[in-house]
Homo-oligomer: A and B are copies of this chain.
């Protein structure tokens, strides 16, 4: 029972949709993530159901089976480990690694992932702050909240992003707000929900509501 790259990518898409709501993933949602037509998705869903990687009821959406979940998790693990490699070892910026990891995640070979993981020192989080599941598919949990939910006086550290776009990541770089940056919320302006913050290196700046919704902070 061999699995193609396209099939792997669909499994990952379904996984990511299912993360946000435990309802079945719908055809249109999948087609949006995969940038294909709904007709192509239906084609693929039949194949994945045939291989018992999803449970599929016509018109009702799909859910990953045990096996489908296992494969999707393994793929995400590979993707994120490669992203760590590309940033830590090859010196790519955090906004440059996703497309490369999309290709590298499909490379298969005996113990490649395990060796890569060891070489990188068993990282628990990728360059975007996303958790890397371990070899058994277990996820590290870390309590973090959008900056948008913090109160004046709260302080913490940047631990992740919701928006993974290059535009957002580069903007954060420009502001000096990469992962690990220390932040204190000074005030929130009721007019537009923008916030004034102070960084640990004592710079003050104002961030839009949009930024504050896309930036995750671990408080305390």
A residues with a Cβ closer than 8 A to B are 89-92, 96, 99-100, 103-104, 106-110, 112, 115-116, 119
Q: How far is the CA of A109 from the CA of B90 in the complex (A)?
A: 13
Q: How far is the CA of A110 from the CA of B104 in the complex (A)?
A: 14
Q: How many copies does the complex hold?
A: 2
Determine whether the beta carbon of A107 is less than 8 Å from that of B100.
yes
Contacts of A91 in B (CB 8 A): 115
Contacts of A99 in B (CB 8 A): 109
- Told that A91-B115, A100-B112, A103-B108 touch, could you supply 13 new A-B pairs with CB distance under 8 A? A89-B89, A89-B119, A90-B112, A90-B115, A90-B119, A99-B109, A100-B107, A100-B109, A103-B106, A103-B107, A103-B109, A104-B107, A107-B107
Contacts of A92 in B (CB 8 A): 115
Contacts of A110 in B (CB 8 A): 96
Q: How far is the CA of A184 from the CA of B96 in the complex (A)?
A: 51
Q: Shortest Cβ distance from A186 into chain B, in angstroms?
A: 39
Most B C-beta atoms less than 10 A away, residue of A108, A109, A115, A119? A109
Contacts of A96 in B (CB 8 A): 110
Q: How far is the CA of A163 from the CA of B107 in the complex (A)?
A: 25
Q: How far is the CA of A96 from the CA of B112 in the complex (A)?
A: 10
Q: Give the residue name and chain of the B residue nearest to A110 (CB).
A: B96
Q: Shortest Cβ distance from A27 into chain B, in angstroms?
A: 28
Q: How far is the CA of A90 from the CA of B104 in the complex (A)?
A: 15
Q: How far is the CA of A104 from the CA of B90 in the complex (A)?
A: 15
